[in-house]
Amino acid sequence: MVGWLLVVLCGGVGAYCLLHMRGGTPGQRRTAAGEALMGFGMAVMALPASAAEPLPPRVFAAVFGAAAVRELVLARHAPAHHLHHAVGALAMVHMALAMAAGSGHPGGHHAAPAWTPALTGVLLAYFACYVLRTGVRLVPSGAGGPAPGGGSAEGAAAGVLRLPEVAVACRLSMGLGMFAMLLTT
């Protein structure tokens, strides 16, 4: 059940990020593309093995290794944001390597390296802090404002999707998903 919830959550975040790529500056579109990749990748990785034949762990390691390199290159422009994405991509590489070593994945052939639990613990602490810090940003400040998007229901829905709080909620959801996935490593 948890696997399916992660699939729906992460897939929904990935879809939102794809929609978010339609507007904004080139930097905002690159950020949305990176977040969409993470969302969809997390959804595929969380897919229960009973639902479909899982992709080989080396495929996940290669895709997310490339994403980590991309984020490190982009960190020249917005260091904190892209470094967080790089940590997320490297966490996905770590989970893929753990899957390949047999921890958390049926049919694994090798024992996990001795440092795997320590790295998992560090990543769990990082994402726990990230989730708490991000969650605080969603606490209402008490200042209400008019409903976004104008008069039509379609305009209101489009306006709500553009609210900064929705992007923060998506990042919070992906952080929670990453934390949950790391717990199984």
Q: How far is 128 from 114, CA to CA, in rounded Å?
A: 23
What confidence score (pLDDT) does residue 130 get? Answer: 95
Residues 116 and 182 sit within 8 Å (Cβ to Cβ) = no
pLDDT bin (cut points 50, 70, 90) of residue 72 is very high
| Ordered DSSP codes for 29-80 | HHHHHHHHHHHHHHHHHHS-TTTSPPPPHHHHHHHHHHHHHHHHHHTTTSHH
| pLDDT for res 106 | 44
Which residues lie below 8 Å from residue 93, measured CB to CB, with a gap of 6+? Answer: 60, 61, 64, 65, 68
pLDDT digits (tens, 9 = 90+) for 106-155: 444 556 667 788 999 999 999 999 999 999 988 887 655 544 544 555 55
pLDDT average, residue stretch 16-28: 83
Q: How far apart are CA 75 and CA 72, in angstroms?
A: 5
Residues whose CB falls within 8 Å of the CB of residue 122, separated by 6 or more in sequence, listed in order:
none
Percent of the chain at pLDDT > 90 equals: 38
HSE on the CB side for 108, CA within 13 Å? Answer: 18
Query: Residue 116 is encoded by which pair of tokens?
Result: 């795997």
